[in-house]
Amino acid sequence: MKAYCGLPFERFRIDFDGRYQSCCHQTSYYGNIFNEGKSLKDLYSKQHKLREVKVATLNQSLHSMCNNNTCPHYTTDLERNKEVSIREYPTQIEFALSPLMCNIGGLKPTAKTACAMCPRSNKEWMKPYLDGTIPDRTDEMLEFIKPAIPTLETLTVLGIIEPFFKGQIFDVLDKLEFKKYKENILFWTFCNGTLFGEKNQNKFLTYVDKSCFGFSVDAATSKTYQKVRKLNYFDTVKRNLTGWFKKCKEEGRWDESFIANNINMWNLHEVPDMVKYAKEVGAKLIEFTATHGEESKTQLPKEAYCNAQNWELFDEAQQKAIEVGKEIGQPVRFYVPLHRGFKK
């Protein structure tokens, strides 16, 4: 199949442990920034595996490390490869913070306190972070990234985290001197909304001019929210999100935030109502993705994930969500189809 993807020329993505790639849909990594002792500029322009991926897409094919079964980014519009421009630094940087930093479950999460679909609920998965086998080298990562900030277009802070827990997002932006360049950079992150009240909203707006939050709610009722999230914050989150979307609209702010829900058998029945929820809080968009990460051994049993036996239920929920969205005028998007490729 002939295809093109611009991300190898645009994006540089770093996991918390230092491994880096162009996209989370790649099946392997180019290397590790902490082991190679080179600058971002050098790795972005000269790293041999990354160069191979760039050459492949210029030749109208996807590299073998790219998973085209799940990737939503590549295109068969081959004219796009004429848009490539060579730069010193990527225009998009994604990096992950420590999985210790989330308010749901706190610094020492357990199966009883962490979200059901989160690997933080798995003791063995968390062990290397808790015992320091994988150390926190965030400051080194920020120094590695910092030279690219003046010419950056998008900064994405990811990880299995809550960015407002202990004010970590403000520390990150301060160390990157983000305020100097905020007029030109779109800031992206995911957030559970529990700590995003008026105080944090107002402080955040002094740091960032252009924003995009993916708000993870994963429920349309308090009962399901507590089952999935372990906290009785459903009403708090709804109030915070309603306030944020209203504020951005009234002040004419550049904000592309949306609801980003993970779907599994524990919340599948509420998918149509999640669309209505998005409309109620004023979200421009609600995006769904089927929960993945079975290999992380979360609290979810295997049968809770979309599989060869239940994919039709996920497909039916997707169709209902589309119908409800059309009825009430609420845009709906699927990161990848909920049936996860089981539908032929």
Residue the block writes with tokens 């979810």: 300
Same domain, 121 and 256: yes
Residue 201's pLDDT is 98
In a domain, 160, yes or no: yes
Residue 91's pLDDT is 95
Encoded amino acid at 178, one letter: F
What is the arithmetic mean of pLDDT over 213-236? 96
What's the number of domains the chain is made of?
Answer: 2
Same domain, 79 and 195: no
Same domain, 114 and 240: yes
Pairing of strands 92-96, 11-14: parallel
Same domain, 14 and 65: yes
Residue the block writes with tokens 């998918």: 271
Question: At 57, is the pLDDT very low, low, confident or very high (cuts 50, 70, 90)?
Answer: confident
Residue 240's pLDDT is 98
In a domain, 344, yes or no: no
| CB distance 106 to 29 below 8 Å | no
Question: At 340, is the pLDDT very low, low, confident or very high (cuts 50, 70, 90)?
Answer: confident
Same domain, 121 and 21: no
Same domain, 62 and 145: no
Helix (H, G, I), strand (E, B) or coil at 92: strand
Same domain, 112 and 61: no
Same domain, 179 and 324: yes
334 vs 6 pLDDT, higher one: 334
pTM (2 d.p.): 0.92
Total count of residues recorded for the chain: 344
In a domain, 282, yes or no: yes
Report in angstroms the alpha-carbon separations of 140 from 43, 87, 173, 274: 16, 23, 14, 40
Check pLDDT > 70 for residue 260.
yes
Same domain, 158 and 62: no
The percent of residues in the chain predicted with pLDDT above 90, rounded, is 74
Q: Which two tokens stand for residue 117?
A: 């679909």
Residue 25's pLDDT is 83
In a domain, 1, yes or no: no
The most confident of 170-174, 228-232, 299-303, by mean pLDDT: 170-174
- C-alpha R_g of the chain: 20
Check pLDDT > 80 for residue 249.
yes
Same domain, 120 and 246: yes
In a domain, 339, yes or no: no
Same domain, 27 and 117: no
Last-in-domain residue among 23, 53, 83: 83
Longest dimension (CA), the chain: 55
Q: State the CATH number of the domain containing residue 224.
A: 3.20.20.70
Last-in-domain residue among 83, 114, 145: 83
99: containing domain = 92-334
Same domain, 314 and 201: yes
In a domain, 341, yes or no: no
Question: At 228, is the pLDDT very low, low, confident or very high (cuts 50, 70, 90)?
Answer: very high
Cα–Cα distance measured from residue 35 to residue 28, given in angstroms and rounded to the nearest whole number: 16
Averaged pLDDT of the chain: 92
Helix (H, G, I), strand (E, B) or coil at 186: strand
Residue the block writes with tokens 């589309």: 322
In a domain, 342, yes or no: no
